Amino acid sequence: MTSAASILNIAAYRFVALTDLPNWRDNIRAQAEACALKGTVLVAGEGINLCLAGPDANVRGWLGWLRAHEPFAALEVKESRSVEVPFGKLRVKVKPEIIRMNHAAIQPQAGRAPSVDAKTLARWLAQGCDDADRPLAMLDTRNAFEADAGRFRGAIDWRIERFSEFPDALLAHRTELVGKTVVSYCTGGIRCEKAALYMANAGVANVLQLEGGILKYFEQTGGEHFDGECFVFDARATLDATLAPSP
């Protein structure tokens, strides 16, 4: 990317118990408007999910304000850059879930799913198994059209059209996962975290989420063992392994 790519894009989520959601919504919107940011922020009783973009100092200033509040102090972000802001407007909404699964028993805010970091996963993929010599099952938890843009080599893709279909897909295909270390993955981590918790709750053994999703994997490994590009829900459409928008 050239130095003209002065817009900072951040993607982040955090499962944390929140109350007084309208107040969070209004304060987050006011601060984002003051910083001239565009994108989407969702808040729910289970946490926050966001994709925002703007000038570097503005984004970092807003992020500093958000992290000054205890529920979001540990918020981790994935960063990428673009020449233009890839969002048309700012949206800040209260939702029942920050990523909809429709299974109230799955509550990530009460405890995270076990995870594997990007560099360890890349090593496992290179050696063909995890450190316990179990074969890997890379499980794509995204929508089918996202997987079509790019996926981990040999990944399982159940061709779901929306994430709320994942639980039924698991029940129909769970025998594919027996005897393997299952690594659920998605764009930035939010869907694969809920998916991992659901699988563990359903009795699937040896389940991990990919920490930070594909975006963090690209950042830390350069995208080895991943074929294609990562679909993102903004005007950039897809990002390559350097986190640059496709031409």
Q: What single string gives the DSSP state of each residue in 47-81? A: EEEEEEEEEHHHHHHHHHHHHTSGGGTT--EEEEE
For residues 126 and 203, membership in a common domain is answered with: yes
For residues 73 and 149, membership in a common domain is answered with: no
Whether residue 1 is contained in a domain is answered as no
Pairing of strands 77-82, 7-15: antiparallel
Domain count, the chain: 2
- Check: CB of residue 188 under 8 Å from CB of residue 213: yes
186 is catalytic: yes
- Check: CB of residue 88 under 8 Å from CB of residue 37: no
Please give the C-alpha separations between residue 178 and each of 5, 163, 175, 186, in angstroms, as whole numbers.
Answer: 45, 22, 5, 21
Pairing of strands 38-44, 90-94: parallel
Of the residues 35, 51, 129, 186, only one is catalytic, namely 186
For residues 115 and 90, membership in a common domain is answered with: no
CATH number of residue 38's parent domain: 3.30.70.100
For residues 153 and 71, membership in a common domain is answered with: no
pLDDT in tens, 146-184: 999 999 999 999 999 999 999 999 999 999 999 999 999
Whether residue 2 is contained in a domain is answered as no
Rg (C-alpha) for the chain, rounded Å, is 18
In terms of residue numbers, what domain contains 20? 7-94
Q: Can you give the pLDDT at residue 196? A: 97
Whether residue 189 is contained in a domain is answered as yes
Per-block mean pLDDT, blocks of 10 residues, the chain (247 long): 76 97 98 98 97 98 98 96 97 97 88 94 98 98 98 98 97 96 97 96 96 97 98 97 91
For residues 226 and 190, membership in a common domain is answered with: yes
For residues 24 and 76, membership in a common domain is answered with: yes
Whether residue 145 is contained in a domain is answered as yes
Domain end, chosen from 94, 121, 156, is at 94
Domain end, chosen from 64, 94, 124, is at 94
For residues 133 and 40, membership in a common domain is answered with: no
Helix (H) or strand (E) holding 154: none
Q: Can you give the pLDDT at residue 1? A: 40
Domain end, chosen from 69, 94, 119, is at 94
Q: Can you give the pLDDT at residue 216? A: 97
Q: Can you give the pLDDT at residue 112? A: 86
For residues 233 and 132, membership in a common domain is answered with: yes
141: left (phi over 0), alpha (psi -120 to 50) or beta: alpha
Q: In angstroms, rounded to a whole number, what is the distance separating the alpha carbons of residues 80 and 237?
A: 13
Please give the C-alpha separations between residue 126 and each of 1, 154, 179, in angstroms, as whole numbers.
Answer: 28, 13, 19
For residues 235 and 113, membership in a common domain is answered with: yes
Q: Can you give the pLDDT at residue 246? A: 81
